[in-house]
Structure 1
Protein backbone atom coordinates (compact mmCIF):
# COMPACT_ATOMS: atom_id res chain seq x y z
CA UNK A 1 0.00 0.00 0.00
CA UNK A 2 2.76 2.45 0.96
CA UNK A 3 4.50 1.81 -2.33
CA UNK A 4 1.35 2.94 -4.19
CA UNK A 5 0.66 6.06 -2.15
CA UNK A 6 4.22 7.44 -2.20
CA UNK A 7 4.53 7.74 -6.01
CA UNK A 8 1.09 9.37 -6.22
CA UNK A 9 2.05 11.94 -3.57
CA UNK A 10 5.32 12.68 -5.36
CA UNK A 11 3.55 13.23 -8.68
CA UNK A 12 1.10 15.61 -6.98
CA UNK A 13 3.90 17.67 -5.48
CA UNK A 14 5.82 17.80 -8.75
CA UNK A 15 2.75 19.02 -10.65
CA UNK A 16 2.11 21.80 -8.13
CA UNK A 17 5.78 22.76 -8.06
CA UNK A 18 5.75 23.17 -11.82
CA UNK A 19 2.36 24.93 -11.92
CA UNK A 20 3.16 27.59 -9.30
CA UNK A 21 6.16 29.11 -11.09
CA UNK A 22 4.14 29.26 -14.32
CA UNK A 23 1.44 31.33 -12.62
CA UNK A 24 4.02 33.50 -10.87
CA UNK A 25 5.83 34.00 -14.17
CA UNK A 26 2.60 35.14 -15.85
CA UNK A 27 1.97 37.65 -13.07
CA UNK A 28 5.55 38.90 -13.26
CA UNK A 29 5.18 39.37 -17.01
CA UNK A 30 2.07 41.51 -16.52
CA UNK A 31 3.86 43.61 -13.90
CA UNK A 32 6.94 43.99 -16.11
CA UNK A 33 4.95 44.89 -19.22
CA UNK A 34 2.88 47.52 -17.41
CA UNK A 35 6.04 49.04 -15.88
CA UNK A 36 7.45 50.03 -19.27
CA UNK A 37 7.28 53.42 -20.94
CA UNK A 38 4.83 53.48 -23.83
CA UNK A 39 5.08 56.46 -26.21
CA UNK A 40 2.02 57.37 -28.27
CA UNK A 41 2.51 59.76 -31.21
CA UNK A 42 4.10 62.91 -29.68
CA UNK A 43 3.47 61.93 -26.03
CA UNK A 44 6.54 60.14 -24.58
CA UNK A 45 4.59 57.93 -22.17
CA UNK A 46 0.87 57.28 -21.73
CA UNK A 47 -0.13 56.48 -18.13
CA UNK A 48 -2.98 54.33 -16.84
CA UNK A 49 -5.89 54.35 -17.71
CA UNK A 50 -4.76 55.05 -21.28
CA UNK A 51 -3.55 52.37 -23.66
CA UNK A 52 -3.03 51.93 -27.39
CA UNK A 53 -0.19 51.60 -29.86
CA UNK A 54 2.26 49.13 -28.29
CA UNK A 55 0.68 49.40 -24.84
CA UNK A 56 -1.62 46.42 -24.20
CA UNK A 57 -5.20 46.88 -23.07
CA UNK A 58 -4.62 45.06 -19.77
CA UNK A 59 -2.25 47.90 -18.74
CA UNK A 60 -5.09 50.41 -19.14
CA UNK A 61 -8.87 50.69 -19.05
CA UNK A 62 -10.90 49.59 -22.11
CA UNK A 63 -12.73 52.94 -22.30
CA UNK A 64 -9.49 54.93 -22.61
CA UNK A 65 -8.04 53.62 -25.87
CA UNK A 66 -5.80 56.01 -27.81
CA UNK A 67 -5.13 55.99 -31.53
CA UNK A 68 -1.38 56.60 -31.82
CA UNK A 69 -1.09 56.70 -35.62
CA UNK A 70 -1.19 60.47 -36.26
CA UNK A 71 0.97 63.39 -35.18
CA UNK A 72 -0.96 63.47 -31.88
CA UNK A 73 -3.00 60.79 -30.08
CA UNK A 74 -6.74 60.63 -30.67
CA UNK A 75 -9.38 59.46 -28.23
CA UNK A 76 -13.03 58.77 -29.01
CA UNK A 77 -15.50 60.13 -26.45
CA UNK A 78 -19.20 59.59 -26.95
CA UNK A 79 -18.56 58.61 -30.61
CA UNK A 80 -16.66 61.83 -31.38
CA UNK A 81 -12.87 62.04 -32.04
CA UNK A 82 -10.73 64.35 -29.92
CA UNK A 83 -7.08 65.25 -30.36
CA UNK A 84 -5.11 64.73 -27.16
CA UNK A 85 -2.80 67.69 -26.61
CA UNK A 86 -1.45 66.71 -23.19
CA UNK A 87 -2.03 64.32 -20.26
CA UNK A 88 -1.47 65.21 -16.60
CA UNK A 89 -1.51 62.04 -14.55
CA UNK A 90 -1.02 63.91 -11.25
CA UNK A 91 -4.32 65.79 -11.61
CA UNK A 92 -6.16 63.18 -13.73
CA UNK A 93 -6.68 65.73 -16.50
CA UNK A 94 -6.07 65.79 -20.21
CA UNK A 95 -6.25 68.65 -22.66
CA UNK A 96 -8.12 67.85 -25.87
CA UNK A 97 -9.49 69.61 -28.95
CA UNK A 98 -12.38 68.55 -31.16
CA UNK A 99 -10.70 66.90 -34.13
CA UNK A 100 -13.06 68.34 -36.75
CA UNK A 101 -12.21 71.88 -35.59
CA UNK A 102 -8.44 71.39 -35.61
CA UNK A 103 -7.04 74.15 -37.85
CA UNK A 104 -10.55 74.42 -39.27
CA UNK A 105 -13.14 76.97 -38.19
CA UNK A 106 -15.71 75.67 -40.63
CA UNK A 107 -16.00 71.86 -40.69
CA UNK A 108 -18.28 70.19 -43.21
CA UNK A 109 -20.37 68.71 -40.40
CA UNK A 110 -21.24 70.46 -37.15
CA UNK A 111 -21.39 68.49 -33.90
CA UNK A 112 -22.07 69.92 -30.47
CA UNK A 113 -19.51 69.03 -27.81
CA UNK A 114 -20.79 66.02 -25.86
CA UNK A 115 -19.31 64.08 -22.99
CA UNK A 116 -19.29 60.60 -21.47
CA UNK A 117 -20.24 61.82 -18.01
CA UNK A 118 -19.45 58.46 -16.41
CA UNK A 119 -15.72 58.78 -17.11
CA UNK A 120 -15.16 62.47 -17.88
CA UNK A 121 -16.06 65.88 -16.51
CA UNK A 122 -15.18 69.30 -17.89
CA UNK A 123 -12.31 70.91 -16.02
CA UNK A 124 -13.08 74.20 -14.19
CA UNK A 125 -10.91 76.02 -16.76
CA UNK A 126 -13.30 75.05 -19.59
CA UNK A 127 -15.79 77.42 -21.16
CA UNK A 128 -18.53 77.05 -23.75
CA UNK A 129 -18.15 78.82 -27.08
CA UNK A 130 -21.05 79.20 -29.50
CA UNK A 131 -20.29 79.34 -33.21
CA UNK A 132 -22.97 80.60 -35.59
CA UNK A 133 -22.76 79.88 -39.32
CA UNK A 134 -24.39 81.09 -42.52
CA UNK A 135 -24.83 84.58 -41.08
CA UNK A 136 -26.02 87.43 -43.31
CA UNK A 137 -26.58 91.10 -42.74
CA UNK A 138 -30.26 91.65 -43.45
CA UNK A 139 -30.43 95.32 -42.46
CA UNK A 140 -28.00 98.16 -42.12
CA UNK A 141 -26.88 99.03 -38.63
CA UNK A 142 -23.85 98.93 -36.37
CA UNK A 143 -20.87 96.79 -37.43
CA UNK A 144 -21.13 93.11 -36.53
CA UNK A 145 -18.30 92.10 -34.16
CA UNK A 146 -16.59 88.73 -33.77
CA UNK A 147 -16.88 87.60 -37.37
CA UNK A 148 -14.90 84.85 -39.06
CA UNK A 149 -14.95 83.90 -42.70
CA UNK A 150 -15.97 80.54 -44.11
CA UNK A 151 -15.94 81.46 -47.82
CA UNK A 152 -13.33 79.70 -49.95
CA UNK A 153 -12.86 82.82 -52.08
CA UNK A 154 -12.46 84.97 -48.93
CA UNK A 155 -15.44 87.10 -49.94
CA UNK A 156 -17.62 87.60 -46.90
CA UNK A 157 -21.07 87.12 -48.38
CA UNK A 158 -21.90 84.76 -45.52
CA UNK A 159 -19.85 84.64 -42.35
CA UNK A 160 -19.61 83.14 -38.89
CA UNK A 161 -19.91 84.71 -35.46
CA UNK A 162 -18.43 83.46 -32.19
CA UNK A 163 -20.02 84.04 -28.80
CA UNK A 164 -18.42 83.38 -25.41
CA UNK A 165 -19.85 83.48 -21.90
CA UNK A 166 -18.38 86.97 -21.54
CA UNK A 167 -20.28 88.13 -24.62
CA UNK A 168 -23.89 86.88 -24.35
CA UNK A 169 -25.56 85.78 -27.55
CA UNK A 170 -28.31 88.37 -27.10
CA UNK A 171 -25.67 91.04 -27.77
CA UNK A 172 -25.02 89.59 -31.22
CA UNK A 173 -28.34 88.25 -32.43
CA UNK A 174 -29.81 91.56 -33.46
CA UNK A 175 -32.34 92.64 -36.03
CA UNK A 176 -29.68 93.20 -38.69
CA UNK A 177 -28.12 89.68 -38.62
CA UNK A 178 -29.59 86.29 -39.46
CA UNK A 179 -27.66 83.00 -38.98
CA UNK A 180 -28.80 79.65 -40.33
CA UNK A 181 -26.93 77.30 -37.99
CA UNK A 182 -25.05 77.13 -34.70
CA UNK A 183 -22.95 74.73 -32.68
CA UNK A 184 -21.63 74.54 -29.13
CA UNK A 185 -17.93 73.78 -28.61
CA UNK A 186 -15.62 73.87 -25.60
CA UNK A 187 -12.46 75.91 -25.29
CA UNK A 188 -9.95 77.03 -22.68
CA UNK A 189 -11.42 79.72 -20.44
CA UNK A 190 -8.37 82.01 -20.60
CA UNK A 191 -8.32 81.83 -24.39
CA UNK A 192 -12.05 82.54 -24.53
CA UNK A 193 -11.69 85.58 -22.28
CA UNK A 194 -8.92 86.95 -24.48
CA UNK A 195 -11.10 86.36 -27.52
CA UNK A 196 -14.04 88.21 -25.95
CA UNK A 197 -11.81 91.21 -25.33
CA UNK A 198 -10.52 91.35 -28.88
CA UNK A 199 -12.98 91.78 -31.74
CA UNK A 200 -10.28 90.70 -34.21
CA UNK A 201 -9.16 87.68 -32.19
CA UNK A 202 -7.94 84.50 -33.85
CA UNK A 203 -10.72 81.92 -33.48
CA UNK A 204 -8.48 79.18 -34.93
CA UNK A 205 -5.93 79.61 -32.15
CA UNK A 206 -8.66 79.49 -29.53
CA UNK A 207 -10.13 76.26 -30.93
CA UNK A 208 -6.64 74.74 -31.20
CA UNK A 209 -5.89 75.60 -27.57
CA UNK A 210 -8.25 72.80 -26.57
CA UNK A 211 -9.99 72.36 -23.24
CA UNK A 212 -9.54 70.36 -20.06
CA UNK A 213 -11.21 67.10 -19.07
CA UNK A 214 -10.96 65.36 -15.71
CA UNK A 215 -11.11 61.57 -15.97
CA UNK A 216 -12.36 58.95 -13.52
CA UNK A 217 -11.02 55.39 -13.81
CA UNK A 218 -10.49 53.90 -10.36
CA UNK A 219 -8.31 56.89 -9.54
CA UNK A 220 -8.12 56.19 -5.80
CA UNK A 221 -7.36 52.49 -6.28
CA UNK A 222 -4.65 53.30 -8.81
CA UNK A 223 -3.00 55.75 -6.42
CA UNK A 224 -2.98 53.05 -3.72
CA UNK A 225 -1.59 50.52 -6.17
CA UNK A 226 1.25 52.74 -7.37
CA UNK A 227 1.99 53.83 -3.80
CA UNK A 228 2.47 50.18 -2.83
CA UNK A 229 4.88 49.57 -5.71
CA UNK A 230 2.35 48.11 -8.14
CA UNK A 231 1.18 48.93 -11.65
CA UNK A 232 -2.45 49.67 -12.53
CA UNK A 233 -4.40 47.68 -15.08
CA UNK A 234 -7.59 45.84 -15.95
CA UNK A 235 -8.34 42.19 -15.16
CA UNK A 236 -9.51 40.51 -18.37
CA UNK A 237 -11.00 37.63 -16.36
CA UNK A 238 -13.30 40.18 -14.70
CA UNK A 239 -14.15 42.52 -17.61
CA UNK A 240 -13.60 46.16 -16.73
CA UNK A 241 -12.36 45.35 -13.21
CA UNK A 242 -9.35 47.15 -11.80
CA UNK A 243 -6.27 45.09 -10.93
CA UNK A 244 -2.96 45.97 -9.29
CA UNK A 245 -0.02 44.13 -10.86
CA UNK A 246 2.80 43.56 -8.38
CA UNK A 247 6.16 41.83 -8.62
CA UNK A 248 4.80 38.79 -6.75
CA UNK A 249 1.35 38.58 -8.32
CA UNK A 250 -1.91 40.40 -9.05
CA UNK A 251 -3.93 42.06 -6.31
CA UNK A 252 -7.38 43.58 -5.98
CA UNK A 253 -6.39 47.16 -5.10
CA UNK A 254 -2.77 47.32 -3.91
CA UNK A 255 0.19 45.04 -3.33
CA UNK A 256 -0.34 42.77 -0.29
CA UNK A 257 -4.09 43.37 -0.30
CA UNK A 258 -6.35 40.60 -1.67
CA UNK A 259 -4.49 38.44 -4.16
CA UNK A 260 -6.24 37.31 -7.32
CA UNK A 261 -5.34 34.97 -10.13
CA UNK A 262 -3.46 36.12 -13.22
CA UNK A 263 -5.45 38.78 -15.08
CA UNK A 264 -4.56 37.75 -18.60
Structure 2
Protein backbone atom coordinates (compact mmCIF):
# COMPACT_ATOMS: atom_id res chain seq x y z
CA UNK A 1 0.00 0.00 0.00
CA UNK A 2 1.27 3.45 -0.90
CA UNK A 3 2.07 5.51 2.17
CA UNK A 4 0.02 8.47 0.96
CA UNK A 5 -3.11 6.23 0.92
CA UNK A 6 -2.65 4.94 4.46
CA UNK A 7 -4.49 7.81 6.28
CA UNK A 8 -7.49 7.42 3.94
CA UNK A 9 -7.56 3.65 4.61
CA UNK A 10 -7.55 4.20 8.37
CA UNK A 11 -10.46 6.63 8.14
CA UNK A 12 -12.51 4.18 6.07
CA UNK A 13 -11.85 1.31 8.50
CA UNK A 14 -12.87 3.50 11.44
CA UNK A 15 -16.20 4.36 9.75
CA UNK A 16 -16.88 0.69 8.95
CA UNK A 17 -16.12 -0.45 12.51
CA UNK A 18 -18.37 2.23 13.98
CA UNK A 19 -21.33 0.98 11.97
CA UNK A 20 -20.84 -2.70 12.75
CA UNK A 21 -23.19 -3.68 15.65
CA UNK A 22 -21.33 -4.67 18.74
CA UNK A 23 -21.97 -8.17 19.94
CA UNK A 24 -20.63 -10.30 22.72
CA UNK A 25 -19.97 -14.01 22.51
CA UNK A 26 -22.03 -14.56 25.66
CA UNK A 27 -25.03 -12.72 24.18
CA UNK A 28 -24.90 -14.75 20.97
CA UNK A 29 -24.58 -18.01 22.92
CA UNK A 30 -27.57 -17.15 25.10
CA UNK A 31 -29.64 -16.15 22.07
CA UNK A 32 -28.82 -19.45 20.36
CA UNK A 33 -29.41 -21.56 23.46
CA UNK A 34 -32.73 -19.91 24.37
CA UNK A 35 -34.05 -20.34 20.81
CA UNK A 36 -33.91 -24.14 21.11
CA UNK A 37 -36.80 -26.38 22.09
CA UNK A 38 -36.39 -27.91 25.53
CA UNK A 39 -38.50 -30.92 26.54
CA UNK A 40 -39.28 -31.52 30.20
CA UNK A 41 -40.56 -35.00 31.10
CA UNK A 42 -43.76 -35.47 29.03
CA UNK A 43 -43.99 -31.83 27.86
CA UNK A 44 -42.23 -31.36 24.52
CA UNK A 45 -41.21 -27.74 24.94
CA UNK A 46 -41.25 -25.49 28.01
CA UNK A 47 -41.65 -21.77 27.27
CA UNK A 48 -40.38 -18.75 29.19
CA UNK A 49 -40.57 -18.18 32.16
CA UNK A 50 -40.08 -21.92 32.83
CA UNK A 51 -36.70 -23.61 32.86
CA UNK A 52 -35.20 -26.85 34.08
CA UNK A 53 -33.70 -30.07 32.75
CA UNK A 54 -31.38 -29.03 29.90
CA UNK A 55 -32.87 -25.53 29.65
CA UNK A 56 -30.56 -22.99 31.35
CA UNK A 57 -31.87 -20.72 34.09
CA UNK A 58 -31.00 -17.60 32.07
CA UNK A 59 -33.64 -18.69 29.49
CA UNK A 60 -36.35 -18.52 32.16
CA UNK A 61 -37.25 -16.82 35.43
CA UNK A 62 -35.59 -17.94 38.69
CA UNK A 63 -38.95 -18.66 40.38
CA UNK A 64 -40.23 -20.95 37.61
CA UNK A 65 -37.90 -23.91 37.90
CA UNK A 66 -39.28 -27.29 36.79
CA UNK A 67 -38.05 -30.67 37.98
CA UNK A 68 -37.95 -32.74 34.78
CA UNK A 69 -36.77 -36.07 36.20
CA UNK A 70 -40.18 -37.74 36.72
CA UNK A 71 -42.94 -38.87 34.38
CA UNK A 72 -44.34 -35.31 34.47
CA UNK A 73 -42.74 -31.95 35.29
CA UNK A 74 -42.97 -30.80 38.88
CA UNK A 75 -42.97 -27.22 40.14
CA UNK A 76 -42.56 -26.11 43.75
CA UNK A 77 -44.79 -23.24 44.86
CA UNK A 78 -44.49 -21.99 48.43
CA UNK A 79 -42.58 -25.14 49.43
CA UNK A 80 -45.28 -27.49 48.08
CA UNK A 81 -44.77 -29.75 45.02
CA UNK A 82 -47.31 -29.64 42.18
CA UNK A 83 -47.49 -31.91 39.15
CA UNK A 84 -47.58 -29.91 35.92
CA UNK A 85 -50.28 -31.27 33.62
CA UNK A 86 -50.21 -28.60 30.90
CA UNK A 87 -48.74 -25.18 30.07
CA UNK A 88 -50.67 -22.69 27.92
CA UNK A 89 -48.30 -19.89 26.95
CA UNK A 90 -51.07 -18.03 25.11
CA UNK A 91 -53.18 -17.52 28.22
CA UNK A 92 -50.29 -17.69 30.73
CA UNK A 93 -52.06 -20.60 32.42
CA UNK A 94 -50.54 -23.57 34.16
CA UNK A 95 -52.65 -26.65 34.93
CA UNK A 96 -51.36 -28.45 38.02
CA UNK A 97 -52.39 -31.08 40.56
CA UNK A 98 -51.19 -31.51 44.12
CA UNK A 99 -48.48 -34.15 43.96
CA UNK A 100 -49.55 -35.94 47.16
CA UNK A 101 -53.10 -36.37 45.80
CA UNK A 102 -52.07 -37.80 42.44
CA UNK A 103 -53.94 -41.12 42.08
CA UNK A 104 -54.40 -40.97 45.84
CA UNK A 105 -57.35 -39.24 47.53
CA UNK A 106 -56.19 -40.41 50.98
CA UNK A 107 -52.56 -39.28 51.41
CA UNK A 108 -50.78 -39.86 54.70
CA UNK A 109 -49.99 -36.13 55.01
CA UNK A 110 -52.61 -33.46 54.33
CA UNK A 111 -51.69 -30.00 53.06
CA UNK A 112 -54.10 -27.26 52.07
CA UNK A 113 -53.70 -26.03 48.49
CA UNK A 114 -53.55 -22.36 49.33
CA UNK A 115 -51.36 -20.09 47.25
CA UNK A 116 -50.51 -16.62 48.46
CA UNK A 117 -51.66 -13.90 46.07
CA UNK A 118 -48.31 -12.13 46.47
CA UNK A 119 -46.53 -14.90 44.56
CA UNK A 120 -46.29 -15.07 40.78
CA UNK A 121 -49.49 -17.13 40.57
CA UNK A 122 -53.21 -16.68 41.13
CA UNK A 123 -56.05 -19.15 40.75
CA UNK A 124 -57.70 -19.37 37.35
CA UNK A 125 -61.41 -18.39 37.24
CA UNK A 126 -62.58 -21.97 36.70
CA UNK A 127 -61.07 -23.17 40.00
CA UNK A 128 -63.19 -24.36 42.92
CA UNK A 129 -62.52 -25.41 46.50
CA UNK A 130 -63.05 -29.06 47.37
CA UNK A 131 -63.17 -29.95 51.07
CA UNK A 132 -62.15 -33.48 52.04
CA UNK A 133 -63.02 -34.81 55.49
CA UNK A 134 -61.42 -37.91 56.99
CA UNK A 135 -62.18 -40.20 59.92
CA UNK A 136 -65.82 -39.12 60.06
CA UNK A 137 -68.53 -40.59 62.31
CA UNK A 138 -72.17 -39.76 62.68
CA UNK A 139 -72.69 -37.92 65.98
CA UNK A 140 -73.83 -40.13 68.87
CA UNK A 141 -76.89 -37.98 69.58
CA UNK A 142 -78.23 -38.57 66.10
CA UNK A 143 -77.47 -42.28 66.30
CA UNK A 144 -79.73 -42.49 69.40
CA UNK A 145 -82.52 -40.50 67.78
CA UNK A 146 -83.77 -42.81 65.04
CA UNK A 147 -86.47 -40.35 64.01
CA UNK A 148 -83.86 -37.78 62.91
CA UNK A 149 -83.02 -37.61 59.21
CA UNK A 150 -79.26 -37.64 58.84
CA UNK A 151 -77.83 -35.79 55.82
CA UNK A 152 -74.42 -37.21 54.93
CA UNK A 153 -72.43 -35.69 52.06
CA UNK A 154 -70.97 -37.97 49.42
CA UNK A 155 -68.68 -40.59 50.83
CA UNK A 156 -65.45 -41.86 49.34
CA UNK A 157 -63.40 -44.81 50.47
CA UNK A 158 -60.00 -44.76 52.13
CA UNK A 159 -58.00 -47.92 52.74
CA UNK A 160 -57.43 -46.70 56.31
CA UNK A 161 -61.17 -46.94 57.01
CA UNK A 162 -61.63 -50.49 58.23
CA UNK A 163 -65.00 -49.90 59.86
CA UNK A 164 -68.30 -49.05 58.17
CA UNK A 165 -68.87 -46.54 60.97
CA UNK A 166 -65.84 -44.49 59.91
CA UNK A 167 -65.86 -42.84 56.50
CA UNK A 168 -64.53 -39.96 54.44
CA UNK A 169 -66.65 -37.36 52.69
CA UNK A 170 -66.22 -34.53 50.22
CA UNK A 171 -68.02 -31.21 50.00
CA UNK A 172 -67.80 -28.80 47.06
CA UNK A 173 -69.24 -25.31 46.82
CA UNK A 174 -72.06 -26.76 44.70
CA UNK A 175 -72.90 -29.35 47.35
CA UNK A 176 -72.73 -26.80 50.16
CA UNK A 177 -75.14 -24.49 48.32
CA UNK A 178 -77.60 -27.37 48.01
CA UNK A 179 -77.64 -27.80 51.80
CA UNK A 180 -75.16 -30.65 52.24
CA UNK A 181 -72.73 -30.17 55.11
CA UNK A 182 -70.97 -32.12 57.86
CA UNK A 183 -73.03 -30.65 60.69
CA UNK A 184 -74.25 -34.14 61.63
CA UNK A 185 -70.77 -35.64 61.82
CA UNK A 186 -67.53 -35.52 63.75
CA UNK A 187 -64.43 -35.80 61.57
CA UNK A 188 -60.86 -36.19 62.79
CA UNK A 189 -59.18 -34.34 59.92
CA UNK A 190 -59.88 -32.21 56.88
CA UNK A 191 -58.06 -30.56 54.01
CA UNK A 192 -58.87 -27.86 51.46
CA UNK A 193 -57.80 -28.63 47.90
CA UNK A 194 -58.37 -26.86 44.59
CA UNK A 195 -59.91 -28.56 41.58
CA UNK A 196 -61.32 -27.73 38.19
CA UNK A 197 -64.82 -26.29 38.65
CA UNK A 198 -66.35 -28.23 35.76
CA UNK A 199 -64.92 -31.49 37.08
CA UNK A 200 -66.13 -30.67 40.61
CA UNK A 201 -69.68 -30.08 39.39
CA UNK A 202 -69.80 -33.74 38.33
CA UNK A 203 -69.44 -34.70 42.00
CA UNK A 204 -72.70 -32.91 42.76
CA UNK A 205 -74.53 -34.54 39.86
CA UNK A 206 -76.86 -37.54 40.08
CA UNK A 207 -74.13 -39.88 38.84
CA UNK A 208 -71.77 -38.81 41.65
CA UNK A 209 -68.33 -38.52 40.01
CA UNK A 210 -65.07 -40.06 41.13
CA UNK A 211 -63.01 -38.02 43.62
CA UNK A 212 -59.68 -39.36 42.35
CA UNK A 213 -60.51 -38.36 38.78
CA UNK A 214 -61.46 -34.87 39.90
CA UNK A 215 -58.23 -34.46 41.87
CA UNK A 216 -56.22 -35.76 38.89
CA UNK A 217 -57.86 -33.23 36.57
CA UNK A 218 -55.93 -30.53 38.42
CA UNK A 219 -56.69 -26.83 38.54
CA UNK A 220 -55.55 -23.69 36.76
CA UNK A 221 -52.98 -21.13 37.83
CA UNK A 222 -52.40 -17.88 35.93
CA UNK A 223 -48.81 -16.67 36.09
CA UNK A 224 -47.38 -13.17 35.89
CA UNK A 225 -43.67 -12.89 35.09
CA UNK A 226 -42.76 -10.09 32.68
CA UNK A 227 -45.62 -11.21 30.40
CA UNK A 228 -45.89 -7.93 28.50
CA UNK A 229 -42.13 -7.50 28.09
CA UNK A 230 -41.73 -11.07 26.86
CA UNK A 231 -44.44 -10.58 24.22
CA UNK A 232 -42.65 -7.45 22.99
CA UNK A 233 -39.34 -9.32 22.89
CA UNK A 234 -40.77 -12.23 20.88
CA UNK A 235 -42.50 -9.90 18.42
CA UNK A 236 -39.16 -8.18 17.75
CA UNK A 237 -37.46 -11.50 16.99
CA UNK A 238 -35.83 -12.07 20.36
CA UNK A 239 -35.97 -14.70 23.08
CA UNK A 240 -36.96 -13.98 26.66
CA UNK A 241 -34.65 -14.59 29.57
CA UNK A 242 -33.11 -13.34 32.78
CA UNK A 243 -30.16 -11.01 33.13
CA UNK A 244 -27.38 -13.09 34.69
CA UNK A 245 -25.78 -10.04 36.30
CA UNK A 246 -29.09 -8.96 37.85
CA UNK A 247 -31.00 -12.15 38.75
CA UNK A 248 -34.75 -11.83 38.31
CA UNK A 249 -34.58 -8.88 35.91
CA UNK A 250 -35.91 -9.41 32.39
CA UNK A 251 -33.68 -9.39 29.32
CA UNK A 252 -34.41 -9.88 25.62
CA UNK A 253 -31.76 -11.96 23.85
CA UNK A 254 -31.37 -10.89 20.23
CA UNK A 255 -29.15 -12.01 17.35
CA UNK A 256 -26.76 -9.07 17.79
CA UNK A 257 -26.85 -8.52 21.55
CA UNK A 258 -29.21 -8.41 24.52
CA UNK A 259 -31.68 -5.57 25.14
CA UNK A 260 -33.85 -4.56 28.11
CA UNK A 261 -37.16 -5.34 26.34
CA UNK A 262 -37.11 -5.57 22.53
CA UNK A 263 -34.48 -6.14 19.89
CA UNK A 264 -32.94 -2.83 18.69
CA UNK A 265 -34.84 -0.95 21.42
CA UNK A 266 -33.09 0.21 24.57
CA UNK A 267 -36.09 1.64 26.43
CA UNK A 268 -37.62 -0.51 29.14
CA UNK A 269 -41.28 -1.00 29.96
CA UNK A 270 -42.93 -2.16 33.15
CA UNK A 271 -44.67 -5.31 31.86
CA UNK A 272 -46.08 -7.81 34.34
TM > 0.5 fold call: yes
Question: 2:242 matched to 1:241?
Answer: no
Match of 1:223 in 2: 231
Residue 259 of structure 1 and its aligned partner are, at CA, apart by 8.5
Q: 1:151·1:159 contact (CA, 8 Å) conserved in 2?
A: no
What RMSD over aligned residues (CA atoms) do the two structures have, in Å? 2.5
Question: 2:217 matched to 1:209?
Answer: yes
Question: 2:167 matched to 1:146?
Answer: no
Count of residues in correspondence between the two structures:
245
Question: Where in structure 2 are the equivalents of 1:69-84 lying within 5 Å?
Answer: 69-84=69-84
Q: 1:225·1:232 contact (CA, 8 Å) conserved in 2?
A: yes
* 1:182 aligned counterpart, secondary structure: strand
Alpha-carbon distance in 2 for matches of 1:110, 1:44: 32
4+ runs deviating over 4 angstroms: 20-23, 152-155
Match of 2:124 in 1: 123
Match of 2:265 in 1: 257
Q: 1:221·1:253 contact (CA, 8 Å) conserved in 2?
A: yes
Alpha-carbon distance in 1 for matches of 2:207, 2:134: 17
Q: 1:77·1:116 contact (CA, 8 Å) conserved in 2?
A: no
- Structure 1 residues not aligned, in runs of 5+: 1-9
Alpha-carbon distance in 2 for matches of 1:63, 1:86: 18
Question: Where in structure 2 are the equivalents of 1:65-144 lying within 5 Å?
Answer: 65-117=65-117, 118-138=119-139, 139-140=142-143, 141-142=149-150, 144=152
Match of 2:183 in 1: 174
Alpha-carbon distance in 1 for matches of 2:176, 2:96: 25
Residue 21 of structure 1 and its aligned partner are, at CA, apart by 9.8
* 1:171 aligned counterpart, secondary structure: coil
Answer with 154-163 or 83-92: which moved more: 154-163
Residue 116 of structure 1 and its aligned partner are, at CA, apart by 4.1
* 1:168 aligned counterpart, secondary structure: helix
- Structure 2 residues not aligned, in runs of 5+: 1-9, 144-148
1:95-127 residue CA offsets vs partner (Å, 9 max, x unmatched): 000001001111111111121423001000101
Q: 2:161·2:167 contact (CA, 8 Å) conserved in 1?
A: no
Query: When the two structures are superposed, what TM-score results if normalisation uses the length of structure 1?
Result: 0.86
Residue 199 of structure 1 and its aligned partner are, at CA, apart by 6.2
Residue 238 of structure 1 and its aligned partner are, at CA, apart by 0.9
Query: When the two structures are superposed, what TM-score results if normalisation uses the length of structure 2?
Result: 0.83
Structure 1's 22 and 251: CA in aligned 2 closer, same or farther, altered over 3 A? closer
